[in-house]
């Protein structure tokens, strides 16, 4: 493009954005490579393979079975939330089997893309297109389900961080800021839930301050109806929230039980408290915006084992076992997502 006034050639505005994106991607993969290199330096690859080869087929089958049970519990919570919302707003119900498939598909998208929230748009699409839910009902069901999950997950993670600090393993620098930061992260979803309980629509109020076109007005109206449905549920059926919270706690207990089983299968000598701390480290690794926590999971488990004076080989073996499990579920989820979207 040529500037008619000066004759200078103008570059498209999108060029700088594309370059920034490429630089970000390169830096991201450089970080992943650095973390994997550091992790593998702590433990010989041959010893890792030898440790994993000692795992028996029935033990791996137990790990897969436990993960299926965890997904079933998550789908049950989601169905409970949607049914609670449907009592007043939406007559249509969604089958448990469909929600199980939607959640597994969502995991496949989340696992292979940066960040932990890539699958929610797919959940919204499947609820509205396949299950024929109204937009606001689908949005409120996804939002409340994730809110219940986040509250319990953050509570467990904060507990793990506190235990880590109480044992003096986090270092003085981490001790200084980790507790206040963790408390703030927990306070945000909790404050939003309490506001909804009192009938205050904070997100809708915030969006109302932003001007936009017709499309923005539709989005804002959908968010308002979704928050309104959740507030109505809080006021009329608090038992649904208590049951949903209980299922979230059960999900985390099952995750902890599965993690402890994997430790036992690999002969990693950690107690209950150490297991919770190591699981917390794994959850934090998956929160880093890299596909599947690649590099961060391995480095995190090596770091955790070193804190507990355990051979780093076992930490890498554990992370690879978790990765094989997640890749299998992720691939299954992607194939299922493709089939559901086409169907």
**Candidate from 120-129, 146-155, 224-233 with smallest mean pLDDT:** 224-233
In terms of Cα–Cα distance, which of 60, 131, 29 is closest to 329?
60
Domain ranges of the chain: 42-342
Q: What is the pLDDT of residues 260-287, one digit of tens each?
A: 999 999 999 888 888 988 898 888 777 7
SS (H, E, C) 191-226: HHHHHHHCCCCHHHHHHHCCCCCHHHHHHHHHHHHH
**Token couple for 130:** 């396949």
In this structure, what DSSP letter does residue 116 have? Answer: S
Q: Percentage of the chain surpassing pLDDT 70? A: 65
**Token couple for 310:** 């355990």
In this structure, what DSSP letter does residue 113 have? Answer: S
User: Hey, how many other C-beta atoms are within 10 angstroms of the C-beta on 234?
Assistant: 20
Q: Taking 90 as the threshold, does the pLDDT of residue 77 lie above it?
A: yes
3-state SS class at 2: strand
CA 297 – CA 315 distance, rounded (Å): 10
Q: Taking 90 as the threshold, does the pLDDT of residue 72 lie above it?
A: yes
Length of the chain: 343
Looking at the DSSP assignment, which residues form a beta bridge with residue 9?
A: 2
In terms of Cα–Cα distance, which of 13, 82, 109, 58 is closest to 330?
109
User: Hey, how many other C-beta atoms are within 10 angstroms of the C-beta on 194?
Assistant: 12
CA 39 – CA 5 distance, rounded (Å): 57
In terms of Cα–Cα distance, which of 185, 190, 161, 122 is closest to 340?
122
Q: Taking 60 as the threshold, does the pLDDT of residue 44 lie above it?
A: no
**Token couple for 255:** 């995750």
Can you give the pLDDT at residue 334?
86
Contact 294, 32 (CB under 8 A): yes
Can you give the pLDDT at residue 76?
95
Q: How many CA atoms lie within 13 A of 303 on its CB side?
A: 21
User: Hey, how many other C-beta atoms are within 10 angstroms of the C-beta on 34?
Assistant: 12
Average pLDDT on 294-321 reads: 84
Can you give the pLDDT at residue 213?
65
Considering all CA atoms of the chain, what is the largest pairwise distance in Å, rounded to the nearest integer? 75
Taking the CA atoms of residue 73, residue 78, residue 79 and residue 81 in that order, the dihedral angle to the nearest 10 degrees is 130
pTM recorded for the entire structure? 0.78
> Average pLDDT over the chain, rounded to whole?
76
**Token couple for 308:** 């507990």
**Token couple for 229:** 């449905």
Residue 199 Ramachandran class (φ > 0 left, ψ -120 to 50 alpha, else beta): left
Q: What is the pLDDT of residues 81-105, one digit of tens each?
A: 888 777 655 445 789 999 999 999 9
Q: Taking 60 as the threshold, does the pLDDT of residue 29 lie above it?
A: no
Contact 114, 28 (CB under 8 A): yes
**Token couple for 227:** 């928050």
């Amino acid at each position: 493009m040529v500037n008619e006034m000066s004759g200078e050639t103008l570059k498209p505005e999108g060029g700088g954005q594309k370059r920034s994106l490429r630089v970000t991607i390169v830096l991201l993969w450089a970080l992943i490579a650095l973390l994997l290199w550091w992790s593998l330096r702590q433990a010989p690859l041959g010893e890792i393979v030898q440790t994993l080869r000692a795992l028996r087929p029935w033990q791996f089958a137990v790990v897969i079975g436990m993960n299926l049970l965890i997904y079933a519990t998550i789908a049950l919570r989601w169905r409970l939330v949607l049914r609670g919302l449907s009592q007043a707003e939406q007559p249509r119900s969604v089958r448990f089997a469909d929600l199980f498939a939607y959640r597994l598909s969502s995991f496949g998208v989340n696992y292979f893309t940066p960040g932990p929230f890539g699958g929610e748009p797919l959940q919204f699409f499947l609820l509205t297109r396949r299950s024929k839910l109204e937009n606001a009902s689908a949005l409120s069901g996804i939002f409340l389900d994730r809110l219940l999950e986040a509250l319990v997950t953050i509570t467990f993670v904060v507990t793990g961080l506190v235990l880590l600090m109480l044992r003096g393993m986090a270092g003085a620098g981490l001790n200084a800021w980790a507790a206040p930061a963790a408390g703030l992260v927990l306070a945000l979803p909790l404050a939003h839930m309490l506001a909804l309980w009192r009938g205050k629509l904070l997100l809708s109020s915030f969006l109302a301050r932003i001007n936009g076109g017709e499309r923005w007005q539709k989005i804002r109206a959908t968010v308002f109806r979704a928050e309104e449905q959740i507030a109505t549920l809080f006021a009329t059926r608090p038992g649904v929230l208590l049951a949903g919270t209980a299922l979230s706690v059960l999900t985390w207990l099952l995750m902890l039980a599965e993690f402890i089983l994997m430790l036992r299968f690999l002969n990693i000598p950690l107690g209950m408290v150490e297991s919770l701390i190591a699981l917390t480290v794994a959850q934090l690794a998956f929160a880093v915006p890299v596909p599947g926590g690649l590099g961060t999971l391995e480095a995190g488990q090596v770091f955790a084992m070193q804190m507990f004076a355990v051979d780093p080989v076992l930490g890498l073996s554990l992370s690879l076992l978790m990765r094989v499990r997640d890749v299998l579920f992720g691939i299954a989820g992607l194939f299922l997502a493709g089939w559901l979207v086409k169907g």
